[in-house]
Structure 1
Amino acid sequence: MTLPHAKTWSQRGRTPAVRVRGRCRRRISIAALTCCKPSHRSRLIYRPRRDDGRRDGRKSFSWRDYRGLLIAAHQQLGGPIVLIWDNLNVHKAAGLREFAASREWLTIYYLPPYAPALNPVEGVWSLLRRGWLSNVAFSTPEHLVERIRRGLRHIQYRSDLIEGCLTETRLTIRPT
């Protein structure tokens, strides 16, 4: 619940200050897929995961969470998926590799290491941080989750924003 910083206006000599009670140790993780297909509108599929301190000791997504996201994406999209992933260690977990190998509808390629400019989801996070999450003091983790979902829903319904994030990577889609 650390505040993202953005610029604001105030009277000269009076710096605006927002009082925050204390740091919350709970973490909210989000996994997202930007989906594109020639002659179709771009889509965003995402899953938030709140660290409640109870589930298998992990504070972020496990390979099983990513597996669930991929299964949901396959059901929503109704076709084969070519997944281009960054080199996050969980993306290369043995269980996830075995899952991908056993599914004929899933093909995975990896981006080069340290190449966030090639990942369109980084553009989505940037839009979210600069828009719906900036200049807000979150009172509870639920308040943060609600703002994240509102922002992601807005991006979901505006395919031009998703296409802008895809265009920014300069990667192209070639019909086969």
Structure 2
Amino acid sequence: PVHKSKKVRQFVARQQGKISIFLLPPYAPDLNPDELVWNYIRQTGTARMPLKKGESLLERTFIDLELIAQNKALIKSFFRETTVSFASD
């Protein structure tokens, strides 16, 4: 797995404690902050506004992700969820 590779371990070591790696079980969506992002997109993005004729799902997804990236308060809220709070310490 990429997160266990020598290059990743060396990169983390060079950060001098500024970042940490948390090894999660192979299938643990409730522990993964990324799942909160996808849930948000499903609740507010394309699922709420069907694609227009000729509109690309890929393009719309990138737009939705960019809108999230611009909203720092929203990003922080994902890490305040109890199940993923370990990632914000």
| Count of matched residue pairs | 81
**Whole-angstrom CA distance in 1 between matches of 2:32 and 2:38:** 11
TM-score calculated relative to the size of structure 1: 0.38
Which of 31, 36, 42 does residue 129 from structure 1 map onto?
42
1:149 aligns with 2:57: no
Say yes or no: does 1:158 pair with 2:71.
yes
For structure 2, list consecutive stretches of 5 or more residues without a partner in the other structure.
none
Q: Considering only CA atoms, is the larger Rg found in Structure 1 or Structure 2? A: 1
Cα shift readout 1:114-169 (whole Å, capped 9, x = no counterpart): 321111110001111222211524656x7112211211111111122212211123
1:107 deviates by 4.4
Alpha-carbon shift at residue 112 of structure 1 (Å): 2.7
- Aligned identity (percent) is 30
Query: Hey, what's the Cα distance between the residues in 2 that align with 1:108 and 1:139?
Result: 43
**Aligned residue type for 1:157:** Q
**Amino acid in structure 1 at the alignment position of 2:7:** F
1:102 counterpart SS class: helix
Contact in 1 for aligned 2:30/2:84 (Cα 8 Å): no
With normalisation by structure 2, the TM-score equals 0.67
Q: What is the root-mean-square deviation of aligned Cα atoms in Å?
A: 2.7
Which has more helix, going by share of residues? 2
Q: State the 1:93 CA deviation.
A: 4.1
- Residues 99 and 166 from structure 1, CA distance in 2 versus in 1: closer, same or farther, beyond 3 angstroms? same
Q: Residues 98, 148 of structure 1: CA spacing in aligned structure 2 closer, same or farther, 3 A cutoff?
A: same
Give the unaligned 5+ runs of structure 1.
1-91
